[in-house]
Amino acid sequence: MEHQVQSTPAESTESGVTSGLRPFKGQINWRHSHHLKNVHGILNIIGWGILLPTGAIVARNFRKYPLKCDEWYQLHTLCQTSAYIIGTVGWGIGIWLGNSSSQYTLKAHRILGIIIFTFATLQMLALWLQPKKEDECRKLWEIYHVVLGYAVIVLSIANIFEGIGNIRSHAAEIWRWVYVGMLIVLALTAVALEICRWIKSKNPQQMAFEDNQIYVSQQI
């Protein structure tokens, strides 16, 4: 009587179940990676792409002209700090994705992201390192702060489009047009405020009156 060799549970697991689990695990990893890529994109758009330009608009147009807001500096700081925190989380996710996958090596997108993070960190240090108003170097520091700030905004917008261009699906067009729509809203807002600023500049008496009101409010 011949003895039939039966496969043990371990052998059965190795031959059948494991081979079935590998595609399943791969599918889970792909879904997890895909989800993180979406989170990475959304956080970067909100942080670097929306809040950062909004903070610049506040600083330019809410200090004196065309709209005076006593809390402009707090609003500016809130926008920029929120942008930095949210954007840094998104940037960190992108770095992790790049390090964890040999297929996710987007050199231009990665390099731009590192430059943006570095410049933005320098801007955040301004909260503690900015000279006092009476210091001689204050004017030069303000020029540096504005130029570096606008450079970060331009690089951020460019890198967002670079990241969208790396999406290999029809969703890329949706992302692109959604962000274009957001930029149009920001641009129209900035243009409208610049027009108001120009109109007020044509009325020196009104500007002098507002300057006096600002001075009086600071003395109270």
Q: Which residues are annotated as a binding site for heme b?
A: 40, 76, 109, 145
Are the C-beta atoms of 157 and 64 separated by less than 8 Å? no
Q: Locate all alpha helices (DSSP H) within 62-203, ordered by sequence.
A: 72-100, 107-129, 138-165, 171-201
Token output for 22:
């590998």
Calpha distance 164→42 (Å, rounded): 11
Give SS3 for 105.
coil
Choose among 115, 116, 110, 112: nearest CA to 94: 110
Q: Where does residue 81 rank: exposed (0-12), middle (13-18), buried (19+ CB within 10 A)? A: middle
Distance of CA 6 to the CA centre of its chain: 60
Per the listing, tokens 């998104």 go with 90
Tokens representing 178 are 């959604």
Q: Which token pair is 128?
A: 């503690």
Q: Which residues are annotated as a binding site?
A: 40, 76, 109, 145
